[in-house]
């Protein structure tokens, strides 16, 4: 799938591969292109780790926010229950106090009634015996049956007095007993209300503790997110400096090399892929391959009529054969198949379709130009070029495009 194989970049590329790394001075730092690329890769990895920490902190913050909302709802509900049970306890206390007062008075009344009954009975009996028993006995001796009638009348009066006092005393005792029962029930109700209120108060304390814990978790998550964001900013600043070092090293290593051909669509390819989230290194790897394939010209047709366009898609194959071909893709999207933007979009479509196992997410984040060049060739292009030739020629093109456009 290659149209031309000019020798102008070959010597430079071979030298790069053979030497492994060429020393260069950049921004006061004495590094090679390879070392500078490794620094970029390491910093990018640090940034990804910081971004992962931000995502984790944001997830934790979301969980803590949800937990806090739930906890606050629990606090609100527990406060309502606490207020209700508190009122019940207060009301039960008032009822118990009142019932206890009634009980106290009733018991006192019962005791007094019993004492009064005892005194009345004793006094009635003693007075009756002392004042009239001898007289009645003497009258009986003199009058006979009439004296018996008088004695009977006196005993009946005593009985009536005793019966009335007894009924009153019994009623008073019964009232006292009922007051005791009512007071006991009221105190039991108060105890139950107090227990219910204590349980509600404990639930409220638990809910407040839950809310405090969720608030603390949210605060920690926010702090973790801020810390990770600070790390991202720091790595961005370091990456910019490292990128300057890399570009300076690359520029020095390419000094004196013959210039690559203009590549009429190179800037279109670069801008389109950049907009789609490809790293500059991965785009340079694509351009190095397209330089070898077509000179980055979307209108080129291979001399034998097989290869077409930027990537030299084969006629009878990926260019025009089947629903997954470039011609079908352009037709379905009302696009010009010979336009560079159409062809770049088709490349992305094929990469997203995992053509040949292509991992577009991994490729987009590549930070080594030569590695990106080799990966794109081996997985997407698949020409017969040797591994050494790919790194030497296509890799040198890629490095030059990177130096020119990044």
Who wins on pLDDT, 381 or 133? Answer: 381
Least confident of 30-34, 255-259, 296-300: 255-259
Q: Give the per-residue pLDDT at 162.
A: 55
The predicted structure's pLDDT at residue 7:
32
| pLDDT (tens digit per residue) in 162-186 | 566 667 777 887 887 887 888 888 8
Mean pLDDT of all residues belonging to the chain: 81
pLDDT, position 168: 77
Looking at the chain, the whole-number percentage of residues with pLDDT higher than 70 is: 78
Q: What mean pLDDT comes out for the span 214-232?
A: 91
Task: Please say if the pLDDT value at position 23 is more than 50.
Answer: no
Q: What is the pLDDT of residue 27?
A: 41
Model confidence at 308: pLDDT above 80: yes
What is the mean pLDDT of the segment spanning 321-343? 95
pLDDT at 10: 36
Q: Is residue 234 over pLDDT 80?
A: yes
Q: Mean pLDDT: which of 94-108, 150-164, 243-257 is highest?
A: 94-108
Model pLDDT for residues 185-208, shown as the tens digit of each residue: 888 888 998 898 899 889 889 989
Cα 142 from Cα 66, distance rounded (Å) = 110
- Residue 345: the pLDDT is 97
Higher-pLDDT residue of 348 and 124 is 348
- Report pLDDT for 19: 32
Is the pTM higher than 0.95? The answer reads no
pLDDT at 141: 52
403 neighbors 270 (Cβ within 8 angstroms): no
Residue 18 pLDDT greater than 90, yes or no: no
pLDDT number for residue 262: 66
Q: Summarize pLDDT for 257-273 with one digit per residue, the tens.
A: 556 766 789 999 999 99
- Give the pLDDT confidence of 362-389 residue by residue, as tens digits: 999 998 899 999 999 999 999 999 988 8
Question: In this predicted model, what pLDDT tens digit does every residue of 392-405 receive, in sequence order?
Answer: 889 989 999 998 89
């Amino acid at each position: 799938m290659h149209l031309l194989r000019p020798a102008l970049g070959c010597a430079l590329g071979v030298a790069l591969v053979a030497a492994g790394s060429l020393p260069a001075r950049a921004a006061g730092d004495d590094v090679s292109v390879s070392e500078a690329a490794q620094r970029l890769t390491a910093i990018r990895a640090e940034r990804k780790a910081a971004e992962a920490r931000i995502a984790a902190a944001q997830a934790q913050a979301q969980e803590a926010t949800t937990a806090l909302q739930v906890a606050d709802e629990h606090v609100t509900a527990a406060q309502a229950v606490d207020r209700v049970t508190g009122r019940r306890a207060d009301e039960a206390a008032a009822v118990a106090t009142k019932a206890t007062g009634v009980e106290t008075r009733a018991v006192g009344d019962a005791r007094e009634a019993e004492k009064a009954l005892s005194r009345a009975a004793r006094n009635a009996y003693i007075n009756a015996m002392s004042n009239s028993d001898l007289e009645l006995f003497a009258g009986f001796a003199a009058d006979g049956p009439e004296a018996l009638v008088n004695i009977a009348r006196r005993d009946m009066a005593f009985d009536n007095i005793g019966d009335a006092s007894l009924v009153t005393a019994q009623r008073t005792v019964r009232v006292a007993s009922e007051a005791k029962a009512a007071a006991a029930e009221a105190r039991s109700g108060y105890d139950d209300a107090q227990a219910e209120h204590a349980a509600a108060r404990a639930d409220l304390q638990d809910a407040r503790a839950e809310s405090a814990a969720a608030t603390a978790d949210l605060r920690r998550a926010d702090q973790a997110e801020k810390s990770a964001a600070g790390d991202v900013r720091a790595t961005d600043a370091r990456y910019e400096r490292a990128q300057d070092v890399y570009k300076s090293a690359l520029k020095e290593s390419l000094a004196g090399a013959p210039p690559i051909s203009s590549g009429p669509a190179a800037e279109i390819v670069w801008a389109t892929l950049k907009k789609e989230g490809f790293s500059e290194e991965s785009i340079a790897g694509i351009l190095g391959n397209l330089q070898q394939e077509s000179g980055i010209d979307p209108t080129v047709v291979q001399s034998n009529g097989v290869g077409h366009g930027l990537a030299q898609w084969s006629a009878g194959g990926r260019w025009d054969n089947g629903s997954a071909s470039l011609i079908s893709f352009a037709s379905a999207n009302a696009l010009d198949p010979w336009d560079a933007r159409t062809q770049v979009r088709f490349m992305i479509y094929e990469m997203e379709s995992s053509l040949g196992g292509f991992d577009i997410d991994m490729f987009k984040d590549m930070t080594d130009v030569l590695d990106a060049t080799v990966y794109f060739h081996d997985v997407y292009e698949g020409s017969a070029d040797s591994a050494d030739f790919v790194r030497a020629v296509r890799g040198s093109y890629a490095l030059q495009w990177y130096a020119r456009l990044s």
